[in-house]
C-alpha cells in the first residue's frame, strides 16, 4: 500500500527490514543499544560487528531518542537506532511518538531521502501492534506534512498480520 503525503511517499510492505535499500533502516533499539534479539539481532547478524561497535560509542540513550550509525554490510547506508517504550513502563504512547519523530529528524539532519521503519516496541517490549500502528503512522504523517527533505518513508512489517493492522490504520488516517 502506498500514499502521498505532501511531497513524500508513505508505503507499507512485508519483508525483512535488513534487506531494504532505503538510505536508512530503523532499529527498534534498547537503551544500551545492544544488538541482541529481534530486529536488532538481525541487523547485527547481517550487518556485522562494526554496527555494535558504533552503538557502544553512542549509548546509552533514553526511550524516545534516536541516533545514527553506519550500516556495516547491510544494503542500506545507515541504521537509525530508535528506542521505543516497554509496555507498562509509563508514558508509552509519548515515548513511541518521540522515537518515531526523532528517527525522522535524524534522517533529515543527515540529508537522507528515504527511511524504513519496523513496528517499534511490538516484539519483546510487548507494545500492542494496533496502538503502535496508530501512533507511528500519525507521527509520520504529521512529520511529512511539515518541512522535510524526506521523499520516501516505508514501514516494513515482518508478517501479513502486522501489515494488515498497519494498512487498516493508514486507511483510517488518510
As assigned by CATH, the class of the 2-173 domain is alpha beta
Q: pLDDT for 104-128, tens place per residue?
A: 999 999 999 999 999 999 998 999 9
Q: Would you mind telling me the total number of residues written for the chain in this entry? A: 174
Q: Which residues contact 147 (CB under 8 A, 6 or more apart)?
A: none
According to DSSP, residue 86 is labeled P
160 three-class SS: helix
Domain residue extents for the chain: 2-173
**pTM of this structure:** 0.96
Distance CA 108, CA 124 (A): 29
Burial 49-59 (b: 16+ CB within 10 A, else e): eebbebbeeeb
Angle between helix axes 129-144 and 160-173 (nearest 10 degrees) is 50
Distance CA 46, CA 57 (A): 20
Phi/psi at 71 (5° precision): -110, 10
Q: Helices in 4-151 by DSSP H: which ranges?
A: 38-47, 49-58, 92-109, 129-144
Q: Which residues contact 45 (CB under 8 A, 6 or more apart)?
A: 18
Distance CA 102, CA 139 (A): 10
Q: Looking at residue 38, what is its pLDDT? A: 86
pLDDT, tens digit only, all 174 positions of the chain? 999 999 999 999 999 999 999 999 999 999 999 998 888 999 999 999 999 999 999 999 999 999 999 999 999 999 999 999 999 999 999 999 999 999 999 999 999 999 999 999 999 899 999 999 999 999 999 999 999 999 999 999 999 999 999 999 999 999
Q: Looking at residue 104, what is its pLDDT? A: 98
Amino acid at each position: 500500500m502506498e500514499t502521498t503525503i505532501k511531497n513524500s511517499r508513505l508505503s507499507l510492505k512485508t519483508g525483512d527490514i535488513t534487506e531494504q535499500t532505503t538510505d536508512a533502516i530503523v532499529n527498534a533499539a534498547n537503551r544500551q543499544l545492544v544488538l541482541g534479539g529481534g530486529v536488532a539481532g538481525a541487523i547485527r547478524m547481517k550487518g556485522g560487528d562494526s554496527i555494535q561497535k558504533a552503538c557502544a560509542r553512542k549509548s546509552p540513550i533514553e526511550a524516545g531518542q534516536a541516533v545514527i550509525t553506519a550500516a556495516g554490510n547491510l544494503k542500506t547506508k545507515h541504521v537509525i537506532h530508535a528506542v521505543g517504550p516497554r509496555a507498562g513502563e509509563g508514558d508509552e504512547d509519548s515515548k513511541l511518538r518521540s522515537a518515531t519523530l526523532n528517527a525522522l529528524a535524524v534522517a533529515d539532519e543527515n540529508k537522507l531521502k528515504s527511511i524504513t521503519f519496523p513496528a517499534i516496541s511490538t516484539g519483546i517490549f510487548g507494545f500492542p501492534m494496533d496502538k503502535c500502528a496508530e501512533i507511528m503512522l500519525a507521527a509520520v504523517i504529521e512529520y511529512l506534512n511539515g518541512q522535510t527533505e524526506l521523499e520516501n518513508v516505508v514501514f516494513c512489517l515482518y508478517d501479513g498480520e502486522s501489515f494488515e493492522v498497519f494498512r487498516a490504520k493508514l486507511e483510517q488516517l488518510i
